[in-house]
Homo-oligomer: A and B are copies of this chain.
Amino acid sequence: MPDQTSSAPRPTLEAVAERAGVSRATVSRVVNGGAGVRAPLVEAVQRAVDELGYVPNQAARALVTRRNDAVAVVIGEPETRLFTDPFFAQQLRGISKELTAHDSQLVLLLVEGTEDYERIGRFLAGSHVDGALVFSLHSDDPLPAIIRRLGLPTVYGGRPGWPGAEDDGNVLYVDSDNRGGAREAVRHLLSLGRRRIATITGPLDQTASADRLDGFRDVLSDADPRLITEGDFTPLGGERAMAELLDRCPDLDAVFAASDLMASGALRVLRERGRSVPDEVAVIGFDDIESVAALTTPALTTVRQDIEGMGRLMTRLLMRGLDQRHGNGTGPALPLSSVITPTHLVRRVSA
């Protein structure tokens, strides 16, 4: 990713034109979707943009681009997870409601694998949408680099993982207090007298997973490494991780799973192995997804985050930025900044 934070001067449109051997007008047209430009020239310009790390001037772009009243939503997960993990449906519900209130169309771009991002980049470059909401990023995800290059207004769901993203005022995101939530869960397990507390993490190339593990370690700084195992946010991943933990540490007396779906898998394995919950093993999840946490046997104690609310906040933040950019804002331009939403423990039966 081009380094935008350095003090070196930002490459100009002229520099791109010179490098590509084309006119300024051609660069401008390519940057704004490429209509009417022959394919070899589009490629030459894109190569120069990549090489120089050029980012179009937002204000200049706003003059030549119309507003489309449409917003792209990109979820960095294959459609099989998108449609089986209620987390995404809940976040999309929040986004959909808020976009409808702004009379803007939700355009969901499905991703099957990394090889799809080039095509998604082309669509995002084509002046079809006013901005993007991007979530479930993994650390090797090529999308943020594409979005920066295009200068497309974007709000991320979950803190992006690249170095410096947290302090970069140009990167907007909405996240939960993942670390604080994990701390609260582990402290609750300690207060119940549990001493061999295990954790099933999410994929550690996602910041939400890493932050929850950090919260676990904040409280249990000397945790036995055999009590920490990586899952994948699915029920099956939770089953596998739980079986592994029980094999490694048969004396464990509590598990903090970094998602409700993984916790539901863990509960299933504990039941199969004859471990009673919460008497022998206390279990806490994360998310508080209604259709999961309240229906497990026993009902799941979990760290609640307001998933639908986060989707709504992401959308509001994006729409506010677009209004300011297009000069439709009412009142003075407010500074836009990222938001961390609170989490809290919801006690049911499992811990």
Chain A residues within CB distance 8 Å of chain B: 35, 66, 68-70, 79-80, 83-84, 86, 88-89, 92-93, 96-97, 100, 103-110, 112, 116, 119-120, 122-123, 126, 128
Contacts and interface: CB of A to CB of B under 8 A. Distances in A.
Nearest to A79: B96
A283 B103 CA distance: 45
A110 B92 contact: yes
Name the 8 nearest CB pairs between A and B, nearest first: A83-B89, A108-B108, A128-B128, A106-B110, A105-B123, A96-B110, A105-B119, A107-B107
Nearest to A123: B105
B110 A108 contact: yes
B105 A109 contact: yes
A interface secondary structure, majority = mixed
Contact of A107 (B79, B80, B97, B108): B108
A100 B112 contact: yes
B107 A92 contact: no
A319 to B, nearest CB: 15
Contacts of A103: 119
Contact of A126 (B92, B93, B128): B128
B110 A109 contact: no
